[in-house]
């Protein structure tokens, strides 16, 4: 039973809608509500702003949404915008977009129109729509020019967002120029440092051959000073006179805002840009019990490699046999490409013992690998993660044990991680259910280590939101009758026990209809497709036909089968574009994989996608590392790097209708337009 009215659910959706935009504007926070702007009848919002200061964006946004529901205009619009701004800090872009669409900007005061336009630009940037963002920013700039008193906070946001917009448009010079204009408006030393780092990031994307050409103003022009500084930095590693040149630069630009310690810490000590590798080593367990799964990853990786335009003329790879420290016979295969095509690929068997990963990695490096993909085994990833540094970058295909806020501490700077983590899915399901307005969850998972991990990940995330877990049950995945754990989950067993007790007291049969508990808003189900197809109808049988069910991707086989999935109707689940983008099912890469490996491509579909992304994302790591809010639209989801260099996946959402998954809008029950 839901304890929220439909209107309040809607308000909370709207509230949760905008927490993301402020995340994208990083150091430049949205303006806090000013009490004098709201009039004498406005409630005290200082406590809510303190929540935001403490990082409790969701709590603050929910509180503001409640104020907005009861407030008259113009307080209502002000609170609604603040709600949206806070939600954008929580990275809920679709909700922010939906919320903003429900505000008629023409009815707002000039000040609120400016904030509306800036928030709209933030949302467009999060959706990778820089042209739309630029239009909103032009509108905000025009409004700022006619306002009686320009808010410095708005000007800071304007320049910051314009810089981000030009970055997405690929105009790095204009991005740096906007940040040069932004810097005098910043009064926080940390914000100044972050801004100067961003200027360097932008200008380092410009080829050194162009940097000098762009220096048209000369001293004391600040932007020209940056251009010269970055040009010097690009030559520093190979220039023994670099220190002298830097002193000369400072003499030419004595008033330049960059400080000497920043030059040392930010420019000279910056991690080097990852060069595109000419030889990649792929390390997978190809001869043990995980061989079939690893082969799917390998074949997806190579399919993506040969799908490149430069490789369309290559029909089959050349094979070279080599010994490997962890295996025997034909365990390493080198795929040589034409001289004009880079990189080449070398495949190594990871063997059975994760302890051998160091030796295999060293062998790959000795063989000339400039980038390593793998291993797949978590213990092997942990072993690589224990190193202080790695000679060449690694993209591990699992997550190390280090989790949480301190996950990045002690990890090698060039260790990246990509995983089809079920815990990651469980956390996103918790977020989705909360945004859909639910607060009380029941959990059913397999009685296995996998099920325990998934239930734990969901519960922890759910409780962080303030949700309640009213019941947990596990089932034996090898069985087909799950009536006992389901009856316990729904408290039907207690209803039956009460009836039996009553019958004993009365001494006669009584009419009885079992009743389930009424305090469950939804059920979180972790199950494979076989188990899910059995659990869903058994939930209906035990008096829960209308209780929403949210499931992990494992509940869907990955192939459309309306007959087998006819009992799955109404189940909402998260999955990757590779399986859910039906219009992509005929694209050349996936079609080729399905034609060559018809059986494996069904059973290991998602692992093929992992291999595809593992290859394609290598060339995107520099961009993702420079801009943590950027994402790469992969086959396993929208990929972005967190602070621990783990590639996180944003998944798609679907709901079964007549046995067929239908794509949903990101945070709405409405199916997406075909």
Give CA 424 to chain center in angstroms: 10
Query: How confident is the model at residue 407, as a pLDDT?
Result: 55
- Mean pLDDT along residues 390-410: 78
Q: How far apart are the first and last CA of the chain?
A: 33
Distance of CA 112 to the CA centre of its chain: 30
CA torsion, ordered 674, 590, 631, 226, to nearest 10 deg: -120
Q: Which residues of 158-182 are buried (b: 16+ CB within 10 A; e: fewer)?
A: bbbbbbbbbbbeeebbbbbbbbbbb
Taking each helix axis from N to C end, the angle separating 110-126 and 130-146, rounded to the nearest 10 degrees, works out to 160
Q: What is the pLDDT of residue 291?
A: 94
Identify the band that residue 514 occupies on the pLDDT scale cut at 50, 70 and 90. low
Closest-CA residue to 626 (of 202, 124, 285): 202
Mean pLDDT in the chain? Answer: 80
Fold topology of 275-419+582-647 = Rossmann fold (3.40.50)
CA atoms in the 13 A half-sphere facing the CB of 462 = 28
Instruction: Give pLDDT, residue 321.
Output: 31
β-bridge pairing 522-525 and 440-446:
parallel
Select the highest-mean-pLDDT range: 70-79, 313-322, 343-352, 405-414: 343-352
**Polymer length in residues for the chain:** 674
CATH architecture designation of domain 424-576+653-663: 3-Layer(aba) Sandwich (3.40)
Q: How far apart are CA 305 and CA 311, in angstroms?
A: 8
Q: Select the CATH number that applies to the domain covering 176-270 from these four: 1.10.10, 3.40.50, 1.10.1510, 1.25.40.
A: 1.25.40
By mean pLDDT, which of 10-19, 275-284, 357-366, 544-553 is the weakest?
10-19
pLDDT at position 21 is 35
**pLDDT surpasses 80 at 236:** no
Confidence (pLDDT) at 585: 43
Give per-residue pLDDT as tens, 19-62: 333 333 333 344 454 444 444 335 678 888 888 888 787 788 77
Work out the average pLDDT over 487-507: 57
Enter the DSSP assignment of 30.
P
Alpha-carbon distance of 472 to 429, in angstroms, equals 16
Q: Please give the radius of gyration of the chain, using alpha carbons only, rounded to the nearest integer.
A: 28
Tell me the HSE value of 3 on the side-chain side, using a 13 A CA sphere: 8
- Residue 434 confidence (pLDDT) above 90: no
Give the residue, 31 or 369, on which the prediction is more confident.
369
| Pairing, β 646-650 against β 279-284 | unpaired
Reading phi first (left if > 0) and then psi (alpha if -120 to 50, else beta), residue 30 is in: beta
Kindly write down the DSSP assignment for every residue of 628-672, as one continuous string. TT--EE-SSSEEEE-TTSEEEEEPEEEEEETTEEEEB-TTSSSBP
What pLDDT sits at residue 368? 95
Residue 656's pLDDT is 97
DSSP, res 473: E
In this predicted structure, the answer to whether residue 89 has a pLDDT above a threshold of 50 is yes
Contacts of 481 (CB under 8 A, 6+ apart): none
Q: What's the average model confidence in pLDDT over 439-449?
A: 96
The H or E element that residue 179 is part of is: helix 172-182
Query: What local confidence, expressed as pLDDT, does residue 15 receive?
Result: 42
What are the structural domain ranges in the chain?
A: 8-169, 176-270, 275-419+582-647, 424-576+653-663
pLDDT of residue 216: 74
pLDDT tens figures, 102-136: 787 888 888 889 999 999 999 899 888 899 999 99
Domains 275-419+582-647 and 424-576+653-663 agree in fold:
yes
């Amino acid at each position: 039973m839901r304890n929220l009215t439909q209107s309040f659910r809607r308000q909370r959706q709207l509230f949760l809608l905008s927490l993301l935009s402020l995340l994208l504007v990083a150091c430049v926070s949205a303006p806090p509500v000013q009490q004098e702007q709201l009039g004498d009848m406005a409630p005290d919002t200082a406590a809510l702003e303190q929540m935001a200061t403490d990082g409790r964006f969701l709590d603050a946004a929910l509180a503001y949404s409640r104020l907005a529901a009861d407030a008259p205009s113009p307080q209502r619009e002000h609170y609604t915008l603040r709600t949206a701004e806070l939600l954008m800090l929580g990275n809920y872009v679709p909700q922010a977009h939906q919320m903003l669409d429900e505000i008629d900007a023409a009815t707002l005061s000039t000040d609120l129109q400016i904030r509306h336009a800036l928030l709209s630009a933030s949302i467009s940037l999060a959706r990778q729509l820089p042209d739309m963002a630029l239009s909103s920013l032009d509108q905000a700039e025009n409004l700022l020019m006619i306002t009686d008193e320009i808010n410095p906070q708005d000007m800071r946001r304007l320049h910051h967002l314009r810089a981000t917009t030009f970055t997405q448009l690929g105009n790095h010079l204009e991005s740096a120029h906007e940040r040069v204009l932004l810097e005098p408006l910043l009064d926080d030393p940390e914000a100044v440092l972050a801004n100067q780092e961003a200027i360097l990031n932008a200008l380092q994307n410009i080829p050194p051959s162009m940097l000098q050409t762009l220096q048209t103003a000369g001293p004391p022009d600040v932007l020209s000073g940056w251009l010269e500084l970055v040009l010097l930095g690009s030559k520093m590693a190979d220039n023994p006179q670099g220190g002298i040149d830097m002193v000369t630069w400072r003499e030419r630009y004595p008033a330049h805002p960059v400080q000497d310690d920043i030059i040392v810490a930010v420019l000279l000590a910056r991690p080097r840009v990852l060069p595109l590798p000419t030889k990649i080593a792929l390390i997978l367990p190809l001869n043990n019990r995980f061989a079939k799964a690893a082969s799917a990853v390998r074949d997806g990786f190579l399919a993506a490699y040969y799908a490149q335009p430069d490789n369309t003329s290559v029909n089959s790879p050349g094979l070279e046999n080599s010994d490997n420290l962890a295996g025997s016979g034909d365990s390493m295969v080198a795929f040589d490409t034409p001289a004009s095509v880079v990189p080449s690929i070398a495949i190594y068997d990871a063997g059975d013992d994760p302890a051998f990963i160091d030796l295999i990695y060293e062998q790959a490096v000795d063989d000339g690998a400039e980038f390593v993909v793998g291993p797949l085994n978590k213990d092997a990833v942990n072993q690589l993660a224990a190193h202080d540094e790695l000679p060449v970058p690694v993209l591990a295909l699992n997550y190390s044990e280090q989790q949480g806020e301190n996950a990045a501490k002690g990890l090698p700077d060039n260790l990246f991680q990509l995983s089809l983590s079920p815990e990651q899915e469980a956390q996103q399901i918790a977020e989705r259910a909360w945004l859909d307005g639910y607060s009380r969850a029941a959990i059913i998972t397999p009685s296995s280590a996998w099920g325990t991990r998934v239930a734990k990940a969901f519960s922890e995330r759910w409780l962080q939101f303030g949700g309640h877990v009213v019941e947990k049950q596990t089932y034996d995945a090898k069985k087909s009758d799950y009536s006992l754990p389901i009856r316990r989950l729904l408290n039907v067993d207690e209803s039956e026990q009460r009836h039996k007790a009553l019958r004993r007291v009365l001494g006669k049969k009584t009419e009885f209809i079992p009743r389930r508990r009424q305090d469950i808003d939804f059920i979180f189900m972790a199950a494979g497709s076989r188990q899910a197809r059995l659990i869903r109808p058994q939930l209906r049988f035990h008096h829960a036909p209308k209780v929403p069910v949210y499931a992990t991707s494992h509940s869907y086989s990955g192939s459309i089968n309306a007959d087998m999935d006819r009992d799955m109707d109404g189940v909402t689940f998260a999955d990757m574009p590779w399986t859910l983008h039906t219009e992509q099912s005929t694209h050349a890469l996936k079609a080729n994989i399905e034609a060559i490996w018809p059986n494996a491509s069904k059973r290991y579909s998602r692992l093929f996608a992992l291999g595809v992304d593992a290859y394609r994302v290598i060339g995107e790591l520099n961009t993702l590392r420079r801009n943590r809010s950027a994402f790469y639209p992969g086959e396993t989801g929208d990929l972005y790097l967190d602070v621990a260099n783990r590639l996180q996946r944003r998944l798609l959402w679907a709901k079964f209708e007549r046995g067929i998954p239908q794509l949903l809008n990101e945070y709405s029950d409405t199916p997406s337009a075909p």
